[in-house]
Amino acid sequence: MSGRETNTTQATSGSNPGHNIANALDGIRRLQELPPTGFASLWGSPLLPLLLPGCVSSGPDDAPSAESTSPPPLYPYALRRGDFDQDASGAKQFFYEGAERSTANGDTVPDSATAGYVKDLQDLLKTLGFAIVDRDTSGIFGWYTFFALREFQIYAHWENLAQAPAALDATKTSLSEQYTVVVNTQEYNGPVSGVANADTQIALKAWRDNRWRCPVLVEAWNMNSTTGRTAIYQDNSINKNNLWHFNDVTSSTPRMFARDFSERYTLTATQTAETVNNPGTSGSASTPPFVVVGDYAKYLTWSGPRSAPSYDHCWEDSAITAEKLIGKAWGDLTDPQKSTYKMVRAVSETECFGQFDSINAYDDAAVSIGPCHWTLCQLGLGTPYQGEFMPFLAYFEKKFPAVFQQTVGQWGIRATHQGEKQNHQDDTAETWGTDGGAFDNWAQRKMEGWIAFQNEQGDYDPLDKGQNLDAKQSANQPVTSAERTRDQQVKADTKAITAYFRSWHMFYRLMMLARTVSEFQQSMWGYSRIRLQGILEAKWDTGSTRTIGDYFKSEKSAALLTRWHIKYPSDVLSSGKATSKLRKLVTDANFSNSDPSAWGDTEEATLITALETALKGKKSDKNWKDQVDKILNWQSEAADTGGNAVSLSGGYNTRKLDLTDLDSPF
């Protein structure tokens, strides 16, 4: 990430550039270049804080604060999800820190002249810029208060914040025009638990007293094709000053921009130019810059944020190239690396338009990112069908643990172990481990995982995924009332949780990771190859010594199989081997010699045509058929591949798979 270390924006007076992600990651990389004994010899040395600015304490004044032992400054209880001032029925009141409270028991409770503790917390979070809280019932600590408090804890750990003026200028419709950068002198260093513990309350009070605000504002702007941004978008006379919910704006007309006062992401000169020159972002450079994020899109009954290059949402600098994805220039790659890159890059054209920062959060996959658009889950199938996105984050942590800790590790989320996949009961929060086996869906040879949130102890609590009641009913098994109640709760929880992951602030953080953190990009290289390996090395049939890769030997056929497996995995693999449908495709070719090792270009061309026909037959819409053609006709940018454009080869035995340094379960 050496190309991302120069801060081209003007530093704000009083800010600490050592706390910038790019500077911190640069220090991590310098440590990684030391010999094995080098780090041990530096521990305790005054040189260490210079190598890891913003990551390592240089003395007592910089040390993370210990957990507070003084009484909480705002509320007498550590408020948490499930608490309420008064329940929805009105029959109960004063349930705090997980227990009923009353003066009869000697408990402290709100007096009649003041708001309840939960309502006061909700109002404060909204004032500080965390309007995601507004979907909860007033006075009831539900999922959205939990999310708002988690978001506060995330941002309260950051080194720079936004500060509001003493009085807002009513003539200005954009809040970001009135905010300034301020150093966070009361950093929160506790868990991202969504609990209003003592340290969180100390930070909340500091924000309130100092007029500190959420440092990231996502704004919706009206656009003009000639002059760019024209005015803040307004809907029902409400200024969309800081978008949170995926459906705060339900029009596809405006374009969303972020203004980030944290100075957390250092932009190169090229990236800074994109914040000015991106179509619709005309004008001179501003501090902080307007960073294009995306727009609101709909798909069937779902909707949410979208970033796509055809709508001028993506940066040219964020195009997937060999050097960014693999970390090496084209001329330094081995032949297997070149061949594998071509397959991954061709498939990415149909998934993310060949862009690291083309992300979907508007369809039934909740969130999709990366060359294979790894999904958070599959909605609309009863209980959530776990996706590949969370295991990807575990893979990122495996490959670049220090960088992970400086980025996603500060969000308080981890992937959930699949456990017993048939009943989903044995789930634990997991790291990737040696080979990612905890996330292996052996039947379809892909990765699956769900979400775990950090708790007060710093551990991670897996979310309940429920049971597949449809499967039980299909098998004529009885379903109990307790199971139905649990199923309804899981569905309600999943709706809220996936809405949170589709929020504009989560979307922005993912986008900036994909744009500016090279290790995040390079983790996609290994994770994409695991997909290819899972397909090509799967057995052809029960008892067979041959694999799918023994039958499909070209880059084109492997890329088509990968696209098929991404969209319809059960068409390609079942019980860990090729499906009868895939085997029939080969049988129907009716080759005179059934031994694939004796085939050549003619047979391979026949199989490519058969794959093309099968894929195009899956859906009738033109867009799907165009995606198949896009893979077959893909050609690289010459600048990406050593000055000469390259394309996928359809020749027999031209496909070479790079399996180096993979840490794969397959």
- Convert the pLDDT of each residue in 434-478 to its tens digit: 999 989 999 999 999 999 999 999 999 988 777 777 777 778 888
Question: What pLDDT, on a 0 to 100 scale, did the predictor assign at position 65?
Answer: 43
Separation between Cα atoms, residue 221 and residue 233, nearest integer Å? 5
Question: What pLDDT, on a 0 to 100 scale, did the predictor assign at position 522?
Answer: 98
Higher pLDDT, 477 or 126: 126
| Average confidence (pLDDT) over 657-662 | 97
Question: What pLDDT, on a 0 to 100 scale, did the predictor assign at position 239?
Answer: 53
Question: Please, which pLDDT band fits residue 280 given cuts at 50, 70 and 90?
Answer: very low
- For residues 144 and 4, the answer to whether their CB atoms sit within 8 Å is no
Which among 296, 308, 312 has a CA at the least distance from the CA of 362? 296
Amino acid at position 519, single letter: E
Torsion sign (Cα): 353, 354, 357, 359: positive
pLDDT higher than threshold 60 for residue 6: no
Amino acid at position 590, single letter: N
Higher pLDDT, 275 or 315: 315
* Structure confidence by residue, pLDDT tens digits, 568-590: 999 999 999 999 999 999 999 99
| Average confidence (pLDDT) over 149-173 | 94
Question: What pLDDT, on a 0 to 100 scale, did the predictor assign at position 428?
Answer: 65
The tokens of 435 are what?
């080979």
* Structure confidence by residue, pLDDT tens digits, 618-657: 998 899 999 999 999 999 999 999 999 999 999 999 999 9
Mean pLDDT score of the chain: 87
| Average confidence (pLDDT) over 88-114 | 92
Higher pLDDT, 347 or 380: 347
Question: Please, which pLDDT band fits residue 535 given cuts at 50, 70 and 90?
Answer: very high
The tokens of 187 are what?
């950093």
Question: What pLDDT, on a 0 to 100 scale, did the predictor assign at position 115?
Answer: 87
* Structure confidence by residue, pLDDT tens digits, 39-86: 444 444 444 444 444 444 433 333 344 455 567 799 999 999 999 999
Question: Please, which pLDDT band fits residue 405 given cuts at 50, 70 and 90?
Answer: very high
| Average confidence (pLDDT) over 288-293 | 90
Angle at 288 between CA 202 and CA 144, to 5 degrees: 45
Question: What pLDDT, on a 0 to 100 scale, did the predictor assign at position 47?
Answer: 43
Phi and psi angles of residue 387, each rounded to the nearest 5 degrees, phi first: -110, -170
Separation between Cα atoms, residue 209 and residue 378, nearest integer Å? 43
On whether the pTM is more than 0.85, the answer is yes
Three-state secondary structure call for residue 65: coil
| Average confidence (pLDDT) over 100-125 | 94
pLDDT higher than threshold 80 for residue 394: yes
The terminus-to-terminus CA distance of the chain in angstroms comes to 30
The tokens of 453 are what?
């949130």
Helical axes 335-351 vs 555-567, angle rounded to 10°: 40
